[in-house]
Homo-oligomer: A and B are copies of this chain.
Amino acid sequence: MDKLRVGVLGATGLVGQVFVDVLARHPWFEVKALAASPGKRGLRYAEAVSWRLEGEPPEAVKDIRLVEPTPAGFSGEGLDIVFSAIPSSVAESVEVELVKSGFTVISNASNMRMERDIPLVVPEINPDHLDLIRIQGKTRGWRGVLVKNPNCSSAILSLPLKPLLDNFGVKRVFVTTLQALSGAGYTGVPSMAILDNIIPYIKREEDKIESEPLKILGKLRRDAIETPGISITATATRVPVLHGHLESVTLELASTPDIEEIKATMAKFRGKPQELNLPTAPRNPLIVLEGEDRPQPRLDRNAGAGMSVTVGRVRKVGSRDDSWYRFLVLGHNLVRGAAGNAVLIAELMLKTGFI
């Protein structure tokens, strides 16, 4: 088949670079347009970018001239999909303008994620939420489509919660995250702030972790998502790790399964992307590690090419009848938590007729 033509907004930022890297070797997509801040317009991508990943920018994109992130900038390319990695502060106006003009935008920016008619998708969990697109079109009168990618910690946390919710019920979740530096962008955390240190607070992060999973895990009833009755509370910390968000989870289930049931339930969890054999789908969305000291960010973040989430140290808390459990979960914040998940959404949309 002919490759779909795709563009990237915010292509010179850190998440933008991961998008470019992933898309440049994608079997179905071909990068045709890259946009960055107006000051870089007209520059070749290889000139404009400070490449932060290993090696050099992919050959296929080096000579693409940067355009402005506007319908006009993208007009000539006949783009099938636009991936957005622009800052939330400017995302709303830029993205909505593109959608109004007819573009399909899959966005990693945090604005509008919680709006009722905008799908917020982890493809293994809530592929059916894409149906909100039909409502979106009606309500907003947009010619295009807007789909949102979740916050990195939310995407990673939602994955193990999904099979637990379906099989045992989940009542309450307390999570302490140990988040990697790359989650804040390349210049987000000064080295002076974090060497020999932990910062036990991340601005505007905890609200997202406490709300986004509820939407992702919700059920689509007619035109709206019905969220499950779970209470999530988060303490988000920043740690001196390059990539890989680790989350220490304590949760109360609605029943009292034993540990082996929980582990088996997670290990066998599969979703639509696995069923459809999508190119970016990992074989196992959840990998249960048996090592007593796993998962570890540096050793496990690349599991399933960064798309698998690893779980470890699943334990029951308190007495036999108690319904409290603890475990650790780890995911690659730039892949499953950002660009990788967004590309998987695009693959899903393509195979299910939304593109």
Contact = CB atoms under 8 A, between A and B. Distances in A.
A316 to B, nearest CB: 10
Contacts of A199: 293, 296
Q: Within the oligomer, what is the number of copies of this chain?
A: 4
A78 interface: no
Contacts of A187: 187, 190, 192
A162 B265 CA distance: 40
Given A174-B250, A241-B198, A250-B250, A233 B318 contact: yes
Contacts of A233: 250, 317-318, 324, 326
A37 interface: no
A82 interface: no
Contact of A246 (B181, B200, B326): B200
Contact of A190 (B186, B198, B240, B250): B186
Interface in A234-253: 235, 237, 239-242, 246, 248, 250
Given A233-B317, A239-B178, A313-B235, A296 B189 contact: no
B190 A190 contact: yes
Interface stretch (A107-115, A128-136, A297-305, A340-348): A297-305
A197 interface: yes
A54 interface: yes
